[in-house]
Structure formats: structure tokens, C-alpha cells
Structure 1
């Protein structure tokens, strides 16, 4: 979508991103647990700078920000006024020289748009794939469950001649993806509502996804992977994508797997899904232990660790 078709709130949010760029704003987003620990320090009760407001999601005094930022936040509908202490309803994170707007901390809303350490690992995997000498030309690419759009945007910027689709079932994610794409100057990215690949017909040269993979008692879409031990959505994406790869096309799936004493349940599904088909595949644990605090929650009693994995599947013919 061109910015000229944006809603007034999207226009203001885009202008807010430009204003933060002009002020040399940067912020690297950590895990929710790290965020909680750092914000709990007494000296961090109130924001003292832009990172405190737009990165750490701390309350701030209205006098901290200049009039331009306040008015843009108000116009974008992201200014939460709570008496003498105000807050931002969005965060802005840095990745690869770009700024991305996403949901405030804590991400408790049903339509929250997540951005965190998994995002950085996901984009790093995409970068590695795109930079490989053997990577074929990409004409059509798609990011399933795009969230704030970092995967789709990375492909769009690296392959400006490609048609890139950013898909999500969350309207808020699509709104923010459009803002992030416009802020980065990506003209070849289209955000559209779709359950998996249902609304995106045809074959693709590259399909990427970074789905939620946790068990979430609140069933939040950005977090709950569904199925057994949170693997449901990862399995659904794999099954949907394999039949939609163009000849020579690839699926790059970054996800997390709840490992038990019996081994890796997702890897077993992968082996079954690719068996007897003209597919080459590679499966790698890129981090053997992430979000260890989740093991204290119900449903994880038999889980020994949660590993971050990258699966790459290529249609050979």
C-alpha cells in the first residue's frame, strides 16, 4: 500500500517514525523477562529519554518530549494519557538500519504485534539464505504470519524486483507492516489478510515464516502456537507451503521446538512431510535453549528445553 492510501493514524505513525529517525533513535528489544527485570529497577520507574519512552515502554512526564512528538503520537492514536504520567502504546525497535513499530510492553493485548530476539534470529537466517551463491532468482516471495513485517521487508529490500507478500490474520499487524515498509521505502511489499496461504494464490520462489510456538493459556495469536507443545502452527505452515513452492523454490521456517526426553517432535514431522518428494532439506538448531522461564508454566512439565530451529526446504524439480 502506498502511503497516500494510509489512514490518518497510519500517516501520523509514519511521520512519528521519520521524526524518531531524524533524532537518531535506536533501540534493541530483548526478551520480555529481560524487559521486566530492567524496568523493575528503581531508577527506571520513569523514562528519561526516547529509549525509555519508545523502547522500554516506561511512563513519562509530558515535559520529556517535544511538541512535535506529542502531537504525532496523539494523531496516531498511540498516546496514553494517565494523569501526570503518559505512555506510548507502541514501541520502536532497530534492526539492520531500519526502525520497526510494534506493540508496547507488556504485550498483553489480543492483537499484540510481537518483536524480540526471535525476530533478530529470523532475519539473520533470511540474510544468510539470500546471500548464499546458490540462491536462485526470486520473483515472488511471501512471509506467513508477518507480524511487524521484518521478514517480508528484509526480502523486499534485498530483492527490489521481487513481488513480496506479507500475510497475517491480525489487522493490526498488517497496519504496522505497511507503516514499516513505507518508512523503509520498500515499494514492492504488499500486506494482506490471509490465513496461511489461503488468500495468496500461485507458487512462490521463497516462503518464509516465524510463527508463534509457545503454549499460551490466554490464546494470544502472536504467542500461541497451538497443537501439541505449541507446534501446531509450525506444522500447518510446513504442510501448506510444500505444495506451493515453485520449481527451485524454498521454504525457510524459523520456529521453536519443545524438546522432550523422547527427542525432537517437529523434526519427526518434517521427515514424514518430505519423505518421497522431490525436496532437499536442511534442519539446524540455531539456539539450543531459549525462553527457559516458560518451562515453569503448565503444559511444559515434560519439556527439557525449548530450542530455536531453522528449517530450509527446496523443491528440486
Structure 2
């Protein structure tokens, strides 16, 4: 299958190209490359997420978890120009592409970095993610448990997951971890989940 898009430093030869993200309220042309997630088109799950979620908070700190080359984070930045948007990923090639895409789109309210470069004191008014399901269940759970507790009071996380890759079991697991979770959309075998901050009575 070749190397995974979640490799920190993809070894595959570069093959730069562009893809278009066209939504009712915006059009972004994005640079992509080999060794990143969905390099030939904006992933269907990402598009479904961006077409179905409610508008993001107008201000505050917003997070794209597993940002790739940036379609979700850049949409957040465009829709909420007064907010501060963070995109995190392990793939350094993807992060560089995302920075270039932000510059090309003239979006200066977004920052792309490795996870450990984000201030651990930050709390997010919204987290949007097409999470990296293929890293495996244990690693995915660890990732979500690292970031979902950083939702600000009243904040929401929106995740898009394919049904056959475990969206329904993930919804049950999140609820069992104390994060109230509901399905807000279902389309083309994808589920969009809305996750609320952990209830106060649930142990961390």
C-alpha cells in the first residue's frame, strides 16, 4: 500500500499537484503532494463534514486535529476570521503544504504545527476533525483522549468517520468516556458526530 500518510517524514518522491475545495461559501485551491492524506482530491468525509457542521464560533481558539494539507483548518479560518485556528498533524510534508496553502489563500489567522508545539494551556471553542482512523483503535483513542479534554466549556467537537471504519462503536466509546456524543448527519456511509465536553462527574 506504500507508506502511511501519518508517517512524520514521508519518504516518497514528491509529486506536487492541486485540488479544489468548493463549498457553498468558499472556494480554495490547495496544493498537495505524495505522502499526504488524500492527495488527489479533497476526501469525501472532509467535504461531508464541512457541508454539514454548524458555523464555527466567531472568535476563540479553534482546532483541526489531523489537519493534513489544511482543508478543514482553512475553512475554519475563512468562516471565522476573528478566531485563531490551529492545525496539528504528525506529517511534516503535510504541515508545510498547509502553511503554503494558508499563504496562498491570504489567511493569516491560522497556524500549522506539530502537536507538542501547541500551548498545552489552550482550550478550544471548537475541534473539527476527520480523524486518522487507520492509525489503529488504541492510537486513535489515545489521540482523542489527549485533545477532547481541551474543549472549552460550551465547546463542541465535530468528527467525521466512515460507518464501516467504526463510527458507531466510536460514538459508544466516546459516551463511555464521559463525552456526550450524538450523530448529527449521515451521508454516503459517513457519520458526523458532535462531541460535548466531558461531564463533570466523569473521572479524567
TM-score normalized by the length of structure 2: 0.75
TM-score normalized by the length of structure 1: 0.50
CA distance in 1, matches of 2:196, 2:100: 31
Decide which of 131, 139, 145 is 2:60's aligned counterpart: 139
Deviations 1:256-301 (Å, cap 9, x if unpaired)? 34468xx943233122122xxxx5431244332xxxxxxxxxxxxx
CA distance in 1, matches of 2:165, 2:62: 31
List gaps (5 residues or longer) in structure 2: 1-12
Deviations 1:172-208 (Å, cap 9, x if unpaired)? 111000011111110101111116xx73421000111
Note if contact 2:67-2:89 (Cα within 8 Å) is conserved in structure 1: yes
Deviations 1:143-177 (Å, cap 9, x if unpaired)? 11110100000000110111101111111111000
| 1:251 CA drift (Å) | 0.7
* Number of residue-to-residue matches in the alignment: 181
Label 1:208 to 1:181 Cα distance change in 2 as closer, same or farther (>3 A).
same
Q: 2:130 matched to which residue of 1?
A: 210
More helix by share: 1
- Highest RCO, 1 vs 2 (Cα 8 Å, sep ≥ 6): 2
Decide which of 98, 102, 114 is 2:37's aligned counterpart: 114
2:135 is paired with a residue whose SS is coil
Q: 1:70 matched to which residue of 2?
A: none
Computed over aligned residues only, the root mean square deviation of the Cα atoms, in angstroms, reads 2.9
The higher radius of gyration belongs to: 1
Q: 1:100 matched to which residue of 2?
A: 30
Structure 1 segments of 4+ aligned residues over 6 angstroms from their partners: none
List gaps (5 residues or longer) in structure 1: 1-79, 81-87, 105-111, 214-223, 289-307
